[in-house]
Amino acid sequence: MPIPGLSTKTTSPQNWRKPSRRLRQLGGSGFKKFPIYTGRSRGPKKLPENFTKLLLTFGGIFLAGLGIFSIILLAWIAKDLPNPNRIIDRSIALSTKIYDRTGETLLYDVHGEEKRTFIKLEEIPANLKNATLTAEDRKFYEHKGISVTGIIRSFIKNITTGSKVGGSTLTQQLVKNAILSPEKKYTRKIKEIILSYQIERKFSKDDILQMYFNEIPYGSVAYGAEAASQTYFGKSVKDLTLAESAVLAALPQAPTYYSPYGSHTDALFSRQHWILDSMAELGYITQEDANKAKEEKIEFKKRDENITAPHFVMYVREYLTEKYGELAVEQEGLTVITTLDLYKQKIAEEAVKEVAPKNAEQYNAHNAALVALDAKTGEVLAMVGSKDFFADPYPENCTPGKDCLFDPQVNAVLRLRQPGSSFKPIVYTAAFKKGYTPETVLYDVNTKFLNYDGRDYEPKNYDLGERGPLTIRKALQGSLNIPAVKAIYLTGVDNVIDLAEDLGYTSFSDRSRFGLSLVLGGGEVKMLEHVSAFATLAREGEWHAPALILEVRDKDGNVLEKFEKKEKKVLETQIARQINNVLSDNASRAYIFGESNYLTLGARPVAAKTGTTNDYRDAWTIGYTPSLAAGVWVGNNNNGEMKRGADGSIVAAPIWNKFMSRVLGDTPAEGFKEPDPIDTDKPVLNGSIAEGIKVKIDKTSGKLATEFTPESQIEEKTFRQIHSILYYINKDDPRGDTPPDLNSEQYKRWEEAVQAWAQKNNFVSEDPPTELDDVHTPQDQPSISITSPSSNQLITSRNFSASVNVSAPRGVRRVEYYLNNKLIKEVTVSPFNLEVFIEDPSIKTGFYTLKAVAYDDIDNNKSDEVELSFKLPAAPATLTWINPTASATVKTSAFPLTIKATLSSLTAIDKIDLFYTHNGQTNYINTARQFPSNQLSLQWLQTPEPGSYQIFASITNQDGFTYQSGSLDIAIE
């Protein structure tokens, strides 16, 4: 059955063989340049006549078959075409309902009550007609319903990009929105083309244009221009200004995206400006008219729809519209279960509203936004795109989307803003990935960097100060700019962007825009992607896109999509644990923020980072636990500056803290897993160089101690090296053996800055020695042997003696004797033999090791030892002073003074003589031979002169051996 409007004639092989009239007009040279096969040979050899006929026969059959197949395909597609005569008829629209994650609370009914008011074409102002034709179909009055060039152009784009867009005329848009279903299929596109052609045959252009202005959706359940004008401007379409007409004409291309109540009003006005300029180019208006219209203040009618979590809902609607089409969302009765946690959403809205007024009053910060994700799944749990979605813009004389400090409907969570220092963790994470460590030392000193564009770049810290050498851990937690710039140079901007894109950032595609300032927030990011990246760190390197939808069902209950957790490993677990460990280390940020700050949640472990742009246009706080990630942005919609001091820790962190504290409440605290120890032998990477390099030095030679250096000759010294990190490592092989590039321009600049700082702060660079101790060697050690007593000899007397044979290359200075490693005497006189009374009562019976150690003048030493069997008599008495007590002050009037002490044992005591020492002189006091009740009691008869005295006893046993007690210190006045 032939399809109306389409010819069923096919081209014959004979016609196909003939060159076109245009080609014939080109003459001989044209045919040489564009040869056409006609069945006749043009070469020196002629093809066989049978072969030529066979080729032409098959060619003809192929083309005929292709034509028949095309007719059948078109007939099959056309069999279900709607009747174009019933274009105004419309089935009952079913509303799409958007719910929270429980599926019980309705957040928004997309359709609501459909708004439609018929209006005749002559009642529609010329400006709206011209603006619409300018924006949608400039050759409307010339074509027959389709634009061949537009179809070809869109087909090529679809093939090359994989998208399904396109090339529609105004008539096709009418068919697509008023007759056909919204699915994005090529068969639907063919139906659209056929119906457009049929409609063009049945209706006049003005009729079609009138139907367009009455049928086309303008968003917000407004169908047709009159309903849209009433919805958005509260006036009839007849009363629209040029500026308002251009706004209305901008909507049909993407009603949800360009909605005046949506998050992209800036894009709406950008499209309005393009339409106005295009109208001027086409001669509909003058350029002066266009410029005046651009400056006109547009006042949109305040929407009265009831929406819960409006910014989130509008974002969900944009997603649904992009995936399923405008009509499907507005008319197909979808049921949408979102990820929104209504409890957390309400807390988020409250936290923003509580702090926002103070920020506006004190810091000229008129807006704030918050988004929270389930760190384990990526689901969006709360989204607050502005401080009040339903509020009037501030100030009152601004136009939404143009110059407002506060633009209520704009969802700041989805807008590009500079992240300031909150982007530093991404850079440092990339540095860890390259081989640097949290303990890597970077000098915080004013440095004139050589940027990637060849220009000088000299960043400053927020307080304009310098702090010298400090670790990455301290630099990041202190949010210092100069070390951060060094970090991104060491890491490489491309490596940072590679990681950022792995983490889900989509705003770094033009890499030529970025240099060293990227680490300080020089590249704009979307807040949702920013928080998602931090959530990836919380998940220890597992990433997936933020999720809005748990489930979508059609009107019949069929599941169209369902959330499935699909993770992608983009970062090694240990790297993520390293950055988590740094960001959750509150002690490391205390030197800047104090121990008590808005980035802590009591005893609950939490990782957090603030950010502030240099001109105070954006302030951030991003923080997370292992289960919850949340970010807060504070600023002005028109990118206006806040007051100085409006940094992230002051205006954003209080909102973040309120939200996290209330949401987490008394839920069980989760901790971050500790990273594995980092194994590096480079002092600049392990942090030891910050306070200097500590090495063990031989006191005598001043060289590095060895295994032969005696402990008594070893001292630990700290050598502080004043060099930049580029002095020690190659930036592209920080842990490897590749030598540093000391000829690079960057090294020279860094080193010059470090040395200038050292000179200003009176630091002297001193390198540690590299040579080894050469005076304590095996050849320098003494020799010694114990000649008496012999091994296993029985010792029965506490009067003990030993003899040795000893020598040394440098001469023997002393010999130390030990019993079971306890020093009993040091002998300094040759021949260095031992004579001693063993006082220690614990040494009595058993086996003991006698060790003799010989030393030279620099403590080179050697030892010898023998095993002995001891069977000794009881130990001599020990004496404990009773009166006077230690450190007592005694008056001269107390003399004669009775001195008392208790004795631990009276065995073998013959006598006890009492002495005192004063001014270096020792004098006798008295002697006792009787010890009633195990006590010593003696009279100090002669009154001494005032001063300090030391009293001691000399105890003589029955063998005639004398030993001395401990002394008693007193003062006499």
Residue bearing the bigger pLDDT, 381 or 207: 381
Q: In what order do the strands lie in the sheet with 822-827?
A: 794-795, 861-871, 845-855, 814-819, 822-827
Give the Cβ contact number of residue 428 at 10 Å. 29
- Quote the Cα angle for 319-321-327, to 5°: 160
Share of the chain above pLDDT 90, in %: 54
Q: In the structure encoding, which two tokens stand for residue 334, read together?
A: 């979808």
- pLDDT (tens digit, 9 = 90+) per residue, 812-845? 999 999 999 899 899 999 999 999 888 777 788 8
- pLDDT (tens digit, 9 = 90+) per residue, 179-194? 665 555 556 667 778 8
Q: In the structure encoding, which two tokens stand for residue 296, read together?
A: 């006109």
Spatial separation of the C-alpha atoms in residues 252 and 170, rounded to whole Å: 10
Q: How much is the average pLDDT of 294-307?
A: 82
Asked if pLDDT for residue 72 goes beyond 60, the answer is no
**Neighbouring residues of 123: CB distance < 8 A, sequence distance ≥ 6:** 237, 238
Q: How confident is the model at residue 689 (pLDDT cuts 50, 70, 90)?
A: confident
Report the chain's C-alpha Rg in angstroms: 47
- Calculate the alpha carbon distances from 856 to 97, 108, 781, 822, 866 in Å: 95, 93, 8, 21, 22
Residue bearing the bigger pLDDT, 211 or 336: 336
pLDDT of the residue at 525: 97
Spatial separation of the C-alpha atoms in residues 652 and 542, rounded to whole Å: 27
- pLDDT (tens digit, 9 = 90+) per residue, 785-798? 999 999 999 998 88
How far is Cα of residue 351 from the mean position of the Cα atoms in its chain? 24
pLDDT of the residue at 61: 64
Spatial separation of the C-alpha atoms in residues 297 and 598, rounded to whole Å: 41
- pLDDT (tens digit, 9 = 90+) per residue, 932-973? 878 888 889 899 999 999 999 888 876 566 777 788 899 999
- pLDDT (tens digit, 9 = 90+) per residue, 90-127? 555 677 899 999 999 999 887 655 666 788 999 999 99
Contact 240, 229 (CB under 8 A): yes
Q: Which helix (H) or strand (E) holds 470?
A: strand 468-471
Contact 348, 361 (CB under 8 A): no
Computed over every residue of the chain, the mean pLDDT equals 85
Q: How confident is the model at residue 49 (pLDDT cuts 50, 70, 90)?
A: low
Q: How confident is the model at residue 587 (pLDDT cuts 50, 70, 90)?
A: confident
pLDDT of the residue at 39: 36
Q: Is the dihedral of CA 197, 199, 202, 207 positive or negative?
A: negative
3-state secondary structure of 471: strand
Q: Which helix (H) or strand (E) holds 443?
A: strand 441-444
Q: How much is the average pLDDT of 319-339?
A: 89
Residue bearing the bigger pLDDT, 88 or 18: 88
pLDDT of the residue at 391: 85
Quickly tell me which residue has 């009603």 as its tokens.
255
Which ranges constitute the DSSP H helices of 404-480?
424-434, 472-477
- pLDDT (tens digit, 9 = 90+) per residue, 716-731? 888 888 899 999 999 9
Residue type, 341: D
Asked if pLDDT for residue 1 goes beyond 80, the answer is no
pLDDT of the residue at 184: 55
- Calculate the alpha carbon distances from 836 to 371, 801, 863 in Å: 83, 6, 19
3-state secondary structure of 683: helix
pLDDT of the residue at 34: 32
Q: In the structure encoding, which two tokens stand for residue 591, read together?
A: 């030197």
